[in-house]
Each structure stands twice: as C-alpha cells, then as structure tokens.
Amino acid sequence: MSDTSEKRVAVVTGASAGVGKAAARQLLQQGWRVIGVGRDPARCAKAEAELRALPDADFTMIRGDLSLLSDVARVADDIARATPRIDALLNNAGGVCAERVITPEGHEATFAGNHLAPFLLTQKLMPGLRAAAAQSAPGAVRVVAVSSTGHEHCPEINWDDLTFAEGFVGGAAYCHAKLANVLFARELARRVADDGIVSHVMHPGVVDSNFANHCDAPMKAYMESIREISVTPEDAADTLVWLASADEPGWSNGRYFHERKELSPAPAALDDDAARRLWEVSEKLVAGY
C-alpha cells in the first residue's frame, strides 16, 4: 500500500450499500483513501470487508444514524480524528419514510436525514475541507450532494411547518428534502468559493437499489412503474465520482448534474433568497451540535 499522505481523501455517506458503496469502490480503485459512513451494522460490516479486500484499498467505515444530529456530530468528530484533510465530501446518504417520524431531537426524520444531516456534517468537516483546499489547486476540493428530480415536485420550502405536522405524505416530504439539497449546494458554493472549494449537486437517476424499501404504498408503486428505466448503483455512482474527482467539474460551482451533464434544476431550486434563508434556518436547527 502506498503512503496514505499521498492519497486524496474522500468521505462518502451511505457507503454501506447502493450508490454510496459503488462510489466508494470506484474511488478506492482510483487510489483514494475513503472513509465511509453507514447506519445498519450488518450492511456496514459486509461493505467494509468487501471494500477493504480490494487491492491496495485504504477504507474505513464509521457507523452512525444520520437522522440524529448528535450522531452526525459524533461521526464528524471521528472523521476529523482520522484525517486532517478532506478532498471530497460526498453527501450521498438519504431516504424516505412511509410515515411521519419525529426523531428524539424533535425533527421530522426525512428532513433531518436528507438535509439537516449533510448540512451539519459539512459544517463540522469544513476545517478539513479548507485544509485540503489550502494545499490544492482552486476547485480541486469538492462537496457533492445527491438530490433527485423529485425536487421538481416541491414548489417551495415549507417554512411554517418543517416537521410536516399537517398533511404528511412520505413522497412529498422526500421531494421537499431534495429541494433543500439543491438550495444548500448552491448556497454552499457561494459561501466557500473564496476558499477554492466547489459545491455541486446531482440527480442519480432511478437506481435499482434498496431505496424504496421504506416508502409508502403510492411511492413504492411509482418506483415500480419506472423500474424499466432504472440504472445500476455503479452507473449512478459514475457521475458522483466524476463530480468528486475529475478536472472539469472544478471549473464551475453550484451546478446541478445528471449523467455528467449540467442541467437546470426547477425554478424553486434557483431561488437564491430561499437558499440563504434555508441556510440561516438550518444553522439555528443544528445549533448546539
């Protein structure tokens, strides 16, 4: 194994299965050091054994439930102890809940796991990202978010009811969180551009994975109806890894991609005032962690 000090370091959330695991594998095959984050103990153990068995692989798995901000903070501390620099943060983990679940910390679980978790994790890991950026060419250090075309079905952030106390629908809560992902990526790009850090967001496509296991019945039916256009986790991970590692994505900032092509997100996702407001609201919600 080569000296780890010469390797670029990536953090990949949701690395125990699906797109995240495929992205971790592809980065390891490119010679990166990868720190994965996963929730399920059995899947984490299986993925860690499989990925560490790759030739010259430098892989570590950290377990954590990213719907809990206390766990996000603990995971971030573990990562910071493991590496002084982070060249790429892939905020891939996400999911959907069939029913309204309020976490012990008082947040709706879909919004917490899909938006507040990557928001807090990115904030906590910013010293490592800035350390890498200070030693790298401008644009070489990346934060990449995984959103979805589902964001197109949400007209705006539900500012007055972020816990969906009224009229909860699992699919709608997921689309709401995916809109938040795009807005966060755009606002992050604005805030870290002077540090030489790039923030992008991508749509992975319809992925043939375990994603729909926890969906409500209507969303499961919808996912099944479009299964014929699904792609493998490996295919979806290709764009995620490209955004993290290729030269071309470093020439722009705050953009939205699918299949290595830049696309325009929905108008609601281009609202810079909403992006700033969401950042400020999110800062208050994660304060103390």
Say which residue the tokens 């949701």 belong to. 14
Any catalytic annotation for residue 256? Answer: no
Q: How far apart are CA 286 and CA 184, in angstroms?
A: 14
- For the residues 264-287, what does the mean pLDDT come to? 98
* Residue-by-residue DSSP string for 65-122: -TTSHHHHHHHHHHHHHH-S--SEEEE------SS--B-TTS-BHHHIIIIIHHHHHH
Q: Are 34 and 27 in contact (CB under 8 A)?
A: yes
Q: Over 50: is that where the pLDDT of 2 sits?
A: no
Handedness of CA 249, 255, 259, 263 (dihedral sign): negative
Beta-carbon neighbour count of residue 276 at 10 Å?
15
The active-site residue, picked from 174, 222, 256, 289, is 174
Q: Over 70: is that where the pLDDT of 187 sits?
A: yes
Q: How far apart are CA 269 and CA 275, in angstroms?
A: 8
Q: At 1, is the pLDDT very low, low, confident or very high (cuts 50, 70, 90)?
A: very low
What is the reported pLDDT for 211? 52
Average pLDDT, the chain: 92
Q: How far apart are CA 126 and CA 55, in angstroms?
A: 30
4-286 carries CATH number 3.40.50.720: yes
Of the candidate ranges 2-6, 151-155, 165-169, 243-247, the one whose mean pLDDT is the lowest: 2-6
What is the reported pLDDT for 205? 84
What is the reported pLDDT for 51? 98
Q: How far apart are CA 200 and CA 186, in angstroms?
A: 7
Q: How far apart are CA 212 and CA 192, in angstroms?
A: 34
- The residue extents of the domains of the chain are 4-286
What is the reported pLDDT for 231? 84
Q: Over 50: is that where the pLDDT of 135 sits?
A: yes
